[in-house]
Amino acid sequence: VLDVRKLYGDSDHFTFDPGFTSTASCESKITYIDGDAGILLHRGYPIDQLAEKSSFLEVCHLLLNGELPTAEEFTKFERNITYHTMLHAQFDSFFQGFRRDAHPMAVMTGAVGALSAFYADSLNVDDPKQREISAHRLIAKMPTIAARAFQYSQGRPFVTPRNELSYSENFLRMCFSVPAEDWVPNPVLTRAMDRIFILHADHEQNASTSTVRLAGSSGAHPFACIAAGIACLWGPSHGGANQEALEMLEEIGSVENIPAFVQGVKDKKYKLMGFGHRVYKNFDPRAKVMQKTCYEVLEQLGINDPLLHVAMELEKVALSDQYFIDRKLYPNIDFYSGITLRAMGFPTNMFTVLFALARTVGWISQWKEMFEDPSRKIGRPRQLYTGATQRDYVAVDKRG
């Protein structure tokens, strides 16, 4: 048995907490979650109020700067963002290097990381002005990159950003105006897109945000840190769950198949995707807004999606089943987002890309907050070593 105290010097304090279930990695003023009560606040404002009354760009200002903007501040902020929406012309050839059938999340990870090569000045992370410019660049360029990842996967030409449009309208136009030349923004869908972005904007120290902070703690280029966050988000236990949740609903197919599917979950053959959360042991407040948005989008488009009936029935069955009650498993944001995004015209492999686009503001706000903390240290988790004790090298001909 190894003596932990010997291995870790004289320190009497050693915490072993795999998965960080009870360890805070930082202080933050950005987002508050009460998982038992199902409460989510950004800078003190409840998520349902922001989703209902605010706009995504306004929420970006709130997360980054701590306050909702005055009218004048908003105009300035919007001008700063739209100033940066374009990508360098050479960037287009970078996209051409990917296989046509590459997952758009693979393209996102590569493309956002590659921005580091275009904006060397952003590496000056100790300059507050430069940090602000990096944040604006990222918020501005993500829709352009995400739309290009989408258009590239569809074999379509890229659409240039139009800065007179709102953030979400511009994004939808870049995604859908080719080949639909008669494309006109649908205000209900634009509002839904904006609300989906708000719902995904930040969520305190989840896996991808912690990844961004850890990567940033070494002073790495901010675009490289966000690329690290995107890579982490891709996993099915995190941002990849929205794609998996829709694929699961498709696999279930119809309401009659739900009991057998739920039994498989209880037998631990697979998980119910879009359900459960590390922090929420109650309804995810974002899931409620997402469900409402889902109804609005389907109604607006006149879509009667059988998968919505499967999802609603599955939710009903799960919420009244002792397995889920005992483990406090409730729908999370991903349960209804897939049906909504599919109705809006996005293929499943774009779902996590949209999550990454929206979460970029949360990542960069957390990154910026970390740099503003004078007590910032490089992140360096310890480990509980369980390997061999010290031993001597044995020549190859003497090894048994």
Indicate whether 274 belongs to the interface with ligand ACO (CB under 6 A).
yes
Residue 203's closest CA among 319, 287, 100, 119? 287
List all residues 6 or more positions away from 231 whose beta carbon is below 8 Å from its beta carbon: 109, 211
> Rounded distance, CA 338 to CA 294, Å?
9
Choice from 333, 358, 364, 370 touching ligand ACO (CB under 6 A): 333
Taking contact as CB under 6 A, which single stretch among the options 75-83, 158-166, 274-282, 377-385 is the one that binds ligand ACO? 274-282
Question: Shortest distance, CB of residue 143 to ligand ACO, whole angstroms?
Answer: 20
Question: Shortest distance, CB of residue 203 to ligand ACO, whole angstroms?
Answer: 7
Burial level of 48, CB count in 10 A (0-12/13-18/19+)? middle
Indicate whether 278 belongs to the interface with ligand ACO (CB under 6 A).
yes
Q: Which among 42, 136, 277, 284 is annotated as catalytic?
A: 277
Q: Is 92 a catalytic residue?
A: no
Indicate whether 329 belongs to the interface with ligand ACO (CB under 6 A).
yes
Of the pair 85, 332, the CB lying nearest ligand ACO is at 332
Question: Shortest distance, CB of residue 1 to ligand ACO, whole angstroms?
Answer: 27
Give how far the C-alpha of residue 1 lies from the chain's centroid of Cα atoms, to the nearest Å.
Answer: 41
Indicate whether 241 belongs to the interface with ligand ACO (CB under 6 A).
yes
Indicate whether 30 belongs to the interface with ligand ACO (CB under 6 A).
no
Choice from 148, 195, 277, 342 touching ligand ACO (CB under 6 A): 277
Indicate whether 358 belongs to the interface with ligand ACO (CB under 6 A).
no
Q: Where are the alpha helices (DSSP H) in the chain?
A: 4-7, 47-53, 56-65, 71-83, 90-96, 104-118, 128-154, 167-176, 187-199, 207-216, 222-233, 241-252, 258-266, 285-301, 306-319, 322-326, 334-343, 351-372
Indicate whether 376 belongs to the interface with ligand ACO (CB under 6 A).
no
Q: Is 277 a catalytic residue?
A: yes
3-state helix/strand/coil string of 295-331: HHHHHHHCCCCHHHHHHHHHHHHHHCCHHHHHCCCCE
Q: Which residue number places its CB atom closest to ligand ACO?
A: 276
Indicate whether 292 belongs to the interface with ligand ACO (CB under 6 A).
no
Indicate whether 238 belongs to the interface with ligand ACO (CB under 6 A).
yes
Q: Which among 88, 334, 373, 397 is annotated as catalytic?
A: 334
Q: What amino acid occupies position 82?
A: T
Residues 140-199 within binding reach of ligand ACO (CB under 6 A): none
Indicate whether 226 belongs to the interface with ligand ACO (CB under 6 A).
no
Indicate whether 332 belongs to the interface with ligand ACO (CB under 6 A).
yes
What region does 219 belong to: left with phi over 0, alpha with psi -120 to 50, or beta? Answer: left
Choice from 49, 237, 254, 383 touching ligand ACO (CB under 6 A): 237
Contact 315, 257 (CB under 8 A): no
Indicate whether 281 belongs to the interface with ligand ACO (CB under 6 A).
no
Contact 28, 369 (CB under 8 A): yes
Of the pair 305, 321, the CB lying nearest ligand ACO is at 321
> Distances from the Cα of 78 to the Cαs of 55, 133, 138, 164, 244, in angstroms?
12, 13, 13, 10, 34
Contacts with ligand ACO, residue ranges (CB under 6 A):
237-239, 241, 265, 271-278, 327, 329, 332-334
Q: Which residues are catalytic?
A: 277, 334
